[in-house]
Amino acid sequence: MKLFGMKKSALIATMVAATMALGGVTVFAASGVQKISAFLNHDIKFLLDGKSWSPKDSKGNKLSAVVIDGSTYVPLKAVGEAFGADVRWEGSTKTINMTSPSGSEGIPYKDGDTNGGTNTDADTSPATDGIFKLGSTDETTAKMKKEAVNVIKLYAKALESGDTSAYDAYVDAHTADTISGSPISLGRSYYKDNFAEEVEGSIEANDASTVTDYAAALSLVKESNIEVDYVGTKTEFGQSFKYSFLPEGWSAFSTVYVTFEFSVTKYDGSDYVLEAVRIS
């Protein structure tokens, strides 16, 4: 069976998430890492600007606080992004890079005032006809399964050429940009940059022939090959849908995942649009 290596940072993040779920961190060969004991406290609640808030993972699942020796710890990425910061893991330097939003405090709950000239009319959506909107769960699950095929083919094209412009055009056409007064705070550029990093990291992690073969295998994807991995529960903030594809002749570690994240266009609103498309 052939193997396509994951981007290193993605692999590290997966390992960390898995070990934390087991209540401890395994001792790795790298120095500076040690096993600890911790407790998940599901009773701890959070308020952000006086309103209820919960840290969530990339699938939209609520996360609980971790208590270690009397101190509370919550996922840095969830907290950072709640304030509009860009939080990224840089595996080469073992650094978590946090970038604060430019020209904005990035707090996700707005009071309705003008923010740098941005229109904050609660009923105004930045969506065009091409931006996907959330329908019923069954309808959206089926619709985005078809879109998973398109995204995987764009990923294949990017791996083959190193050019992510076609994927960027897809994001521009089908996802919403930042909307003040809503959870949609990161914007298209953030997700396009993430995709470019994923492509670059995957190309670097494999030899040229493996990348070429894997891209060719991905390009053969059909809707019948797509598995529905996860459909999140619709919440007041959003709903996520995750799909997977394992190319024939490749090991399970070469599975590609596509996640679509829909978010509400205003807090306490009822209209949801596609905010993010993620490849992993």
Whether this prediction's pTM lies above 0.85 is answered by: no
Long-range pairs for 266-269 at CB < 8 Å and ≥24 separation? 266/122, 266/123, 266/179, 266/181, 266/182, 267/51, 267/109, 267/181, 267/182, 267/183, 267/236, 268/236, 269/122, 269/182
Report the DSSP beta bridge partners of residue 86.
Answer: 99
Mean pLDDT by groups of 10 residues along the chain of 280 residues? 58 41 44 68 74 74 77 78 69 66 46 40 47 95 96 96 96 94 92 94 92 95 95 94 94 93 93 94
pLDDT at 133: 95
pLDDT, residue 15, reads: 40
